[in-house]
Amino acid sequence: MAENPLTKSNKQKLADFKVGVDNVIFSVDSQQNRLLVLLVKRQSQPFQNQWGLPGTLVRIGESLEDAAHRILAEKIMVNNLYLEQLYTFGGPKRDPREEIDSFGVRYLSVSYFALVRFDEAELISNTGLTCWHSISNLTDLAFDHHTILNYGYQRLRNKLEYSPIAFDVLPDVFTLNEIYQLYTTVLGENFSDYSNFRTRLLKLGFLADTGVKISRGAGRPASLYRFDAKAFAPLKDKPLVFI
Amino acid sequence: MAENPLTKSNKQKLADFKVGVDNVIFSVDSQQNRLLVLLVKRQSQPFQNQWGLPGTLVRIGESLEDAAHRILAEKIMVNNLYLEQLYTFGGPKRDPREEIDSFGVRYLSVSYFALVRFDEAELISNTGLTCWHSISNLTDLAFDHHTILNYGYQRLRNKLEYSPIAFDVLPDVFTLNEIYQLYTTVLGENFSDYSNFRTRLLKLGFLADTGVKISRGAGRPASLYRFDAKAFAPLKDKPLVFI
DNA sequence: ACAAAAGTGTTTTTTATACACCCATGC
DNA sequence: GCATGGGTGTATAAAAAACACTTTTGT
């Protein structure tokens, strides 16, 4: 931003922008082993009645991340989540409104990626206009939202492999199988052998066995583990591999 | 972007933005083993006379990436480079102009990260207002540019480890030692043993020995290698490790 | 001959992968 | 007792890390 727009030295006209924030909100339904993304049905033009990512335009005095949290809060109630910025999509013509009714205003989308705990996330509206969609079964989306969603899906898979975001979204205590299920649902069936996954994870040393056992129907009861933030701290900036 | 700003249904006022693009442009001076970043001395308020990242405001009809390329083209002439989007910094108050003279306009910065070939990059202005600074010896920067720069530095290191961006910035033919020097300059002296680095790199199979030898003063002449794009293609989406 | 830079090989340790097998519970 | 899910161990292969050594040049 070397140039000051108020000195009229530059001949080219600057674009005026409205900035939107679009969220790719993922959740994992462990019961049905489905990876879900939250979509809303658009009520107005353009792309009326098509599904799209939940988004909003940034208000005066509001930071991008605040806007991302606001969207989330408007759609679902959730206590535990992971949120980070994804990418900024900003070419001209990505929003048809730029041409028809906008007096030259450009729409830029800063996308955010979120992972929320499924069994805790309660949809605020029950009109069916906001709901979870399985990632494996998607319709066409409004705008360039399919591109954004794919970008987010890619990021989700990378994050799972290299950082402990899963624990932001698991209950306080959980079995090792629950983690494994989560990983399998996101990364696919053959991402790793359960026994090796288990060994690798425990060797990292930040999962504490609570000693409590839990029985799910038949079979040997599983140990409940807890994520030990203190033990994890020294690993924070080290490269982790959960593969 | 679920809401249409033209329907006045939402009570909260939307912010108007100018969008800036700021570039973190890195280069490696192999002669002196220095990692360099391109900075410009600001000629106007705010932060007059302080160094900052080269940036510009996005013009009508211009994409973000176009703007990033335009900055680059205004500062240096270069044929080979790697460029990608870095992050979007957009909190209110990150630019003091928002308060004093801007009629409520917000400034948002979409930052880009670039790596250019040093011996080919020619500075366009020779006024001393645009120049390379060693990363190990930096002054205070304007705005939040230090944050952006650090973010870019981190990304550079990650990219070097996991993707072949070095080859976008090396000459057509190069010795293995030249690659090693580049890696050492960016990642630090102890990132890896030369012999192991060499073995790993060759095993990946996309470096073709041209058979031509080059002699640099004393010592055994080195083989010149060429990056083989065809051989690399199948590895494009696989995880690589150059460590 | 010898220093300097390039390049090869070897040894040790660690990690990944693929399984086989034992354990505790419900029915 | 046996099916079911939980949990441990082992054998093999591959990769990372450390470092010794050879080759080819300039002086």
**A171-184 pLDDT, tens per residue?**
999 999 999 999 99
At residue A3, φ and ψ (nearest 5 deg) are -95, 145
Query: What is the rounded distance in angstroms from the CA atom of residue B201 to the CA atom of residue B205?
Result: 7
Residue A220: CB less than 7 A from any atom in strand C: yes
Given a contact cutoff of 8 angstroms between Cβ atoms, the answer to whether A112 and A86 are in contact is: yes
Q: Which helix (H) or strand (E) holds B148?
A: helix B145-162
- As a whole number of angstroms, the longest Cα–Cα distance in chain A is 77
Question: A213: Cβ under 7 Å from strand C?
Answer: yes
* Cβ–Cβ < 8 Å for B228, B206: yes
- Predicted confidence at residue B10, as pLDDT, reads 45
DSSP structural state of residue B170: S
Residues contacting residue B196 through CB under 8 Å, at least 6 positions apart: none
Structure tokens at B124: 């366009």
Average pLDDT, chain A: 88
For residue B4, list chain A residues with Cβ-Cβ distance below 8 A: 44-45, 97
Contact of A152 with A26, CB cutoff 8 Å = yes
Contact B149, B110 (CB under 8 A): no
Residue B3 has pLDDT above 90, yes or no: no
pLDDT band at A92 (very low <50, low <70, confident <90, very high): low
Candidates A116, A114, A108; CA nearest to A143 is A108
Place of tokens 């670039």: B114
State yes or no: pLDDT of B147 exceeds 70: yes
Mean pLDDT of A58-81: 93
- Comparing CA positions, the residue from A93, A130, A121, A114 lying closest to residue A15 is A93
The answer to whether B116 touches B110, Cβ cutoff 8 Å, is: no
Give B115→chain A minimum CA distance, Å.
20
- Shortest distance, CA B154 to any CA of chain A (angstroms): 12
Q: What is the DSSP letter of A141?
A: B
Most confident of A125-129, B1-5, B12-16: A125-129
- State whether residue B59 sits within 8 Å of chain A by CB: yes
* pLDDT given at position B242: 82
Closest nucleotide over all strands to B224 (CA to C1'): C6
Is A7 exposed, middle or buried, given 0-12, 13-18 or 19+ CB atoms closer than 10 A?
exposed
Q: What is the pLDDT of residues B80-138, one digit of tens each?
A: 899 999 999 986 666 556 554 456 788 899 999 999 999 888 899 888 899 999 999 89
Domains of chain B with bracketed CATH: 15-159 (3.90.79.10), 165-235 (1.10.10.10)
A64 CB near a chain B CB, below 8 Å? yes
**C-alpha dihedral, B167 to B169 to B172 to B175, nearest 10°:** -70
Average pLDDT rounded to a whole number, residues A237-242: 79
Note whether B160 and B170 are within 8 A (CB): no
CA–C1' nearest nucleotide, residue B196: D17
Question: How many angstroms is C1' of D21 away from CA of B174?
Answer: 26
Contacts of A188 (CB under 8 A, 6+ apart): none
Q: Which residue of B has its CA nearest to A23?
A: B1
Q: Do A73 and A173 meet the contact criterion of CB atoms below 8 Å apart?
A: no
This prediction's pTM: 0.89
Tell me, what DSSP letter sits at residue B9?
Answer: T
Given a contact cutoff of 8 angstroms between Cβ atoms, the answer to whether A9 and B53 are in contact is: no
Cα separation, A140 vs B97, in Å, equals 41
Do residue A63 and residue B143 have CB atoms under 8 angstroms apart? no
User: Which of B57, B87, B110 is opposite residue A14, by nearest beta carbon?
Assistant: B57
Averaged pLDDT for residues A69-95 = 88
**Cross-chain residue pair A18–B18, CB shorter than 8 Å:** no
- Determine, for residues B14 and A58 on separate chains, whether the beta-carbon distance falls below 8 Å: yes
- Bigger pLDDT: A142 or A2? A142
Interface of B with A in 91-120 (CB under 8 A): 91-92, 95, 97, 101-102, 104, 106-110
Partners of A52 on chain B (C-beta within 8 Å) are: 1-2
Does residue B31 carry a pLDDT above 90? no
Dihedral of the alpha carbons of A184, A188, A190, A194, in degrees to the nearest 10:
0
pLDDT at residue A12, as a whole number: 67
**pLDDT at residue number B8:** 42
Q: What is the pLDDT of residue B227?
A: 95
First vs last C-alpha separation in chain A? 41
Closest C-alpha among A117, A119, A93, A121 to residue A107: A93
What radius of gyration do chain A's Cα atoms show? Answer: 21
Residue B175, pLDDT above cutoff 90: yes
Give yes or no for a contact between A83 and B53, defined as CB atoms under 8 angstroms apart: no
Q: Are A120 and A78 in contact (CB under 8 A)?
A: yes
Contact: B40, A2; criterion CB under 8 Å: yes
Which residue places its CA closest to the C1' of nucleotide C6?
A: B220
Coil vs helix vs strand at A76? strand
Indicate the residue of A2, A40, A101 with minimum beta-carbon distance to B6: A101
- Cβ atoms of A25 and A124 within 8 Å: the answer is no
